[in-house]
Amino acid sequence: MNYSTELHLALEALEAFAAAAADRRGPVIRQRPMVELARTLELDRLIAEGGLRGDGLQRFLKDYLAAATRLHHPGYMAHQVAVPHPMGALGSLIDGYLNNPMAIYEMGPSAATVEFAVLNWMLRKVGWRPAPMPGSSEAVGDHGGGVLTHGGSLANLTALMAALGRVAPNAWEEGVPRDLVVVAPEACHYSIARAVSILGLGRKALKAAPTDADGRLAPAQLGSYLRSLRQQGARILAVVANACSTAVGLYDPLQEIGGLCRDMGVWLHVDGAHGASALVSPRYRHLLDGVELADSLVWDAHKMLRTPTLCAAVLVRDHRDLDAAFHEEASYLFHDKDQPGIDLAHRTVECTKAALGLRLFLVLAAMGERGLADYVDRQTDLAAAVARRLRAAPGIEVAVEPQSNIICFRLDGADELQLAVRKRLLEDGRYYLSATEFRGRRWLRLALMNPVTDSTDIEGLLTEIRRHQTALG
Ligand SMILES: Cc1ncc(COP(=O)(O)O)c(C=O)c1O
């Protein structure tokens, strides 16, 4: 059956939606009650009857988009999710249409080749040797490796699985030894704590690394801390460093941490889900100096690389670590095959896996590396300017000097005030920001993801904040 009318309808509706949002028409967020939405969208009827096409689809899309959160709106400053480049979205559409789950080469040679190329691009950015193209005359030798997974959380779990394979190779057969610990700053993303529990180490095996007052891992104390853990009989599965932290966007000093971990023979995992994208920027690459000393890195393209969700890379310095992470045999998939490409299924939790590389590749092919670097630079510079503006405003405290596109600030007053102001802003719907905890207090938090957000939006936000603050007394 031909669905070209529906495809065109959807594309037209989406383009109009994004253009209106970018033009600041309508709210950035409007949360209607679920029960009301389900009725408006006629979900039960459509599920029971089917047949949604043409005019019906147009009506459905109108209601669906009206209730959607508008990431394309410059008032969107809340979460670390990309405002996707249309070419990246095209990648999702093409993949959805083809449905080539390419974790085994035979199910999607073009998708697998694109993922391979994108991973090698990322490995080069880190400073690790890219993998030789299968079937080419490139020397094999030592090289890095990677896989794209459905999100940074799964990617962190995958990286720690790789560490487990190296540190406790018998764990796969015999279970996880009781003496393993993971050392990470308290400011690490919650997916690290989850991974530790999922791996079966138990939440108590996550040890809080020494940090400075801003929550950055402190290399000067890390060595003695690791030694003291060892003296107590613990084996260190991995040290995890932030690049950058979720709450306030600060980078841990990777050069010193990396050197120390190398000297002590400890696996260093860098969670660069948000901040590794600075690797593409000649101006901000220095924030990740030393990342090449790590053993693994997680880098989400669906955060700062304008790529639609999801597209997260797990990268390792030595490909063998990732190759050994999952030992399961599935004879219908994993057997000696004479094939012109490679399978990635053995590097990931997933069996069926979307062609995630196409999303990032099409963004790169449209914007070029330079275009992405300009985007990272712009958002980082904007954050610095916003911090200066907020510091100059009376009664506003800025948490830290931003190193990325994340800024945290608070109004004079209790934690409840920050949350109450945020609630009112979201009810109004013109600005959408988040809130976080840092140094034991609540902060309002901006993640400047939108390439159209500018100083006029920041001024507008400040005016609205003041209005709500006054109203709240
Ligand atoms: C540092 C860090 N790691 C991991 C994640 C989780 O990534 P995802 O949301 O793609 O699972 C986030 C998400 O914000 C993050 O900031």
Q: How do residues 22-62 score in pLDDT, each as one tens digit? A: 999 999 999 999 999 999 999 999 999 999 999 999 999 99
Residue 134: predicted pLDDT: 82
Give yes or no: residues 375 and 447 share one domain.
Answer: yes
* Ligand 1 centroid from CA 159, angstroms: 14
Q: Which of 332, 363, 394 is a domain's end point?
A: 363
- Alpha helix stretches (DSSP H) within 237-355: 254-264, 301-304, 319-323
Same domain assignment for residues 359 and 388: no
CA of 307 to the centre of ligand 1 (A): 14
> Is there a contact between 148 and 118 (Cβ–Cβ < 8 Å)?
yes
413 inside domain: yes
Residue 75 domain flag: no
The answer to whether position 172 is within a domain reads: yes
CA of 45 to the centre of ligand 1 (A): 37
Structural domain of residue 44, as residue ranges? Answer: 4-67
Is there a single domain that holds both residue 188 and residue 135?
yes
Same domain membership, residue 222 and residue 108? yes
Mean pLDDT of 298-325: 96
Q: What is the mean pLDDT of the chain?
A: 96
Q: In what order do the strands lie in the sheet with 441-447?
A: 396-398, 406-411, 441-447, 434-438
Q: Does residue 457 have its Cβ closer than 6 Å to ligand 1?
A: no
Closest C-alpha among 141, 7, 156, 111 to residue 358: 111
Ligand 1 site, residue 189, Cβ cutoff 6 A: yes
Q: Does 393 lie in the same domain as 355? A: no
| 190 CA → ligand 1 middle, Å | 8
Q: Is residue 86 a part of any domain in this protein?
A: no
331, 363, 395 - which closes a domain? 363
What is the predicted pLDDT for the residue at 175? 96
* Overall number of domains in the chain: 3
Specify if 83 maps to a domain.
no
320 and 182 part of one domain: yes
Domain co-membership, 11 together with 132: no
Give the pLDDT of residue 328: 66
User: Is pLDDT above 90 for 141?
Assistant: no
- Give pLDDT, residue 136: 78
Q: State yes or no: pLDDT of 171 exceeds 90.
A: yes
Beta bridge partners of 397: 410
158 Cβ below 6 A of ligand 1? no
- CATH number of the structural domain spanning residue 180: 3.40.640.10
363, 383, 404 - which closes a domain: 363
Is 78 touching ligand 1 by the criterion CB < 6 Å?
Answer: no
Residues 208 and 282 in one domain: yes
H or E element in which residue 437 lies: strand 434-438
pLDDT, position 19? 98
Q: What is the structure's pLDDT at 337? A: 75
Pocket of ligand 1 contains residue 406 by CB under 6 Å: no
Query: Are residue 256 and residue 359 in the same domain, yes or no?
Result: yes
115 CA → ligand 1 middle, Å: 21
Q: Could you tell me if the CB of 269 is within 6 A of ligand 1?
A: no
Predicted confidence band of residue 329 (pLDDT cuts 50, 70, 90) = low
**In the prediction, which pLDDT does 333 show?**
59
CATH code, 441:
3.90.1150.170
Nearest to 399 by CA among 383, 419, 382: 383
Determine the distance separating the centroid of ligand 1 and the alpha carbon of 246, expressed in angstroms.
Answer: 7
CB of residue 321 inside a 6 A radius of ligand 1: no
Is 71's pLDDT higher than 90?
yes
- Give the pLDDT band (50/70/90) at residue 420: very high
Considering the domain architecture, whether residues 246 and 297 belong to the same structural domain is answered as: yes
> Is residue 74 assigned to a domain?
no
Q: How far apart are CA 381 and CA 268, in angstroms?
A: 29
Give percent of the chain above pLDDT 90.
92
225 in any annotated domain = yes
Span from the CA of 197 to the centroid of ligand 1 (angstroms): 17
Please report the pLDDT score of residue 331 as a whole number.
62
Kindly indicate the confidence band of residue 137, based on its pLDDT and cuts at 50, 70 and 90: confident
> Residues 86, 91, 92, 96: is their CA dihedral positive or negative?
positive
* Ligand 1 site-directed mutation target among 274, 360, 434, most atoms within 8 Å of CB: 274
pLDDT for the residue numbered 327 = 78
Q: Is the distance from the beta carbon of residue 307 to the nearest atom of ligand 1 less than 6 Å?
A: no
pLDDT over 80 (residue 274):
yes
Exposure pattern of 366-391 as b/e (b: 16+ CB <10 Å)? ebeeeebbbbbbebbebbebbbebbe
Residue 362 has pLDDT above 90, yes or no: yes
**Relative to the CA of 310, which ligand 1 atom is closest?**
10
Whether residues 376 and 468 share a domain: the answer is: yes
**292, 189: one domain:** yes
Q: Identify the H or E element spanning 177.
A: none
* 3-state DSSP of 66-126: HCCCCCCCCCECCCCCCCCCHHHHHHHHHHHHHCCCCCCHHHCHHHHHHHHHHHHHHHHHH
Q: Which residue is closest in CA terms to ligand 1's atom 5?
A: 152
**What pLDDT score does 330 carry?**
59
Average pLDDT over residues 380-403: 98
CA distance 324 to 162: 7
Which ligand 1 atom is nearest residue 155's CA?
A: 11
* 48 falls within a domain: yes
Secondary structure percentages of the chain, helix, strand, coil, to 5 = 50, 15, 40
- 114 neighbors 358 (Cβ within 8 angstroms): yes
> Is this prediction's pTM over 0.85?
yes
**Digit-coded pLDDT (tens) for 213-230:** 999 999 999 999 999 999
